[in-house]
Amino acid sequence: MSETVDPISYYDSIAETFAKQASDKNANLFEYDGNMPSLLKLSDQISGNVLDYGCGAGNFTDMFSRDDRFVDGCDTSPHLVDIAREHYPAINFYNASKDGSVGLDKEYDLIVAKLVFHYVANLDATLASLSDNLRIGGHLLFSVPHPDKTQKHFSSEIDEGTYVDEVGQFGLTLPMVHRSLGRLSTLLANNDFSIVKTDIVYDKQVPKRLNVLAVRQLNKNV
Ligand SMILES: C[S@@+](CC[C@H](N)C(=O)[O-])C[C@H]1O[C@@H](n2cnc3c(N)ncnc32)[C@H](O)[C@@H]1O
């Protein structure tokens, strides 16, 4: 029987192995050739202050660096933050708080979260917290495993539900959250975001990633 572990502790405990693997283009062809180009294209028009939330080893954070951008990264894993700092000294990396809040007194033009939200149990709270660090009119860009894929863990169609799945080669399973596009749209709307664009990235004609660009609107209650 495999053991189920909390994603935050898991990534911290395998930080070095994860960093090597994440930075290896050959081991991650789908991410490098398919998913990362999709995310870079969706955010191509956006400049200014950028935060990579759940930045892992910092390899994807570095891809956002451009003359017209100031890029930061943050992660809940202190070990991954150390590794990212060592590999990319020109970028500021911060420890995100374990409750999911960024813990920084800074406003961004763009917050990116690649393959993070499916580990977040209370996405409503995380979106509220990320919204505090985004200027009005600022953008949130995220990538999640495509809902068609995660829906397969359930016997009937549902909007949101937790499942466990194996990760890596350590015989461990992590809790992950399936959310339909409808559910994601509702959570975004509840936090004053509206969807600008979505992109589906396919692997051999099967949807593998759902990428969403949303904009933070003026709070309707203000
Ligand atoms: C699959 S990795 C993705 C890392 C990086 N964004 C990338 O694409 O290479 C997931 C990252 O999310 C972080 N993480 C895990 N659970 C989290 C949570 N509940 N809240 C915020 N970050 C979390 C992990 O420390 C890890 O760096």
Give residue 8's pLDDT band: very low, low, confident or very high (50, 70, 90): very high
Atom of ligand 1 nearest to the CA of 121: 19
Residue whose CA is closest, atom 20 of ligand 1? 100
Q: Is 83 in the pocket of ligand 1 (CB under 6 A)?
A: no
In a domain, 81, yes or no: yes
Looking at residue 133, its pLDDT comes to 96
Residue whose CA is closest, atom 21 of ligand 1? 100
Write out the residue range of the structural domain in which residue 76 sits: 3-145+180-216
| DSSP label of 103 | -
- The candidate with the shortest Cα–Cα distance to 162, out of 7, 10, 25, 2, is 7
> Which of 88, 116, 177, 211 best tests ligand 1's pocket when mutated (most atoms within 8 Å of CB)?
116
In a domain, 222, yes or no: no
In a domain, 161, yes or no: no
**Which CATH number characterizes residue 188's domain?**
3.40.50.150
In a domain, 83, yes or no: yes
Helix H or strand E encompassing 43: none
Q: Is 108 in the pocket of ligand 1 (CB under 6 A)?
A: no
- pLDDT of 55-94, one tens digit each? 999 999 999 999 999 999 999 999 999 999 999 999 999 9
Give residue 220's pLDDT band: very low, low, confident or very high (50, 70, 90): low
Using the mean position of ligand 1's atoms as its centre, give its distance from the Cα of residue 222 in Å.
33
**Side-by-side strand order, sheet with 69-75:** 92-95, 69-75, 48-53, 108-114, 134-145, 206-216, 193-203
Using the mean position of ligand 1's atoms as its centre, give its distance from the Cα of residue 105 in Å.
21
Give residue 169's pLDDT band: very low, low, confident or very high (50, 70, 90): low
| Residue scoring higher pLDDT (133 or 98) | 133
Residue 132, token pair as written in the block: 């505090």
Residue 131, token pair as written in the block: 């919204």
Residue 146, token pair as written in the block: 């495509």
* Phi then psi dihedrals of residue 117, to 5 deg: -65, -25
Looking at residue 205, its pLDDT comes to 96
Q: Could you tell me how many residues make up the chain?
A: 222
Q: What is the mean pLDDT of residues 32-47?
A: 98
In a domain, 66, yes or no: yes
DSSP strand E in 99-171: where? 108-114, 134-145, 160-167
pLDDT > 90? residue 99:
no
212 class by beta-carbon count within 10 Å (0-12 exposed, 13-18 middle, 19+ buried) = buried
Please give the tally of structural domains in the chain. 1
pLDDT > 70? residue 181:
yes
Handedness of CA 123, 128, 134, 138 (dihedral sign): positive
- The candidate with the shortest Cα–Cα distance to 198, out of 178, 174, 221, 215, is 215
Residue type, 78: P
Looking at residue 151, its pLDDT comes to 98
Q: How far is CA 21 from the centre of its chain?
A: 17
- pLDDT of 118-155, one tens digit each? 999 999 999 999 999 999 999 999 999 999 999 999 99
Mean pLDDT of the chain: 95
pLDDT > 60? residue 222:
no
In a domain, 205, yes or no: yes
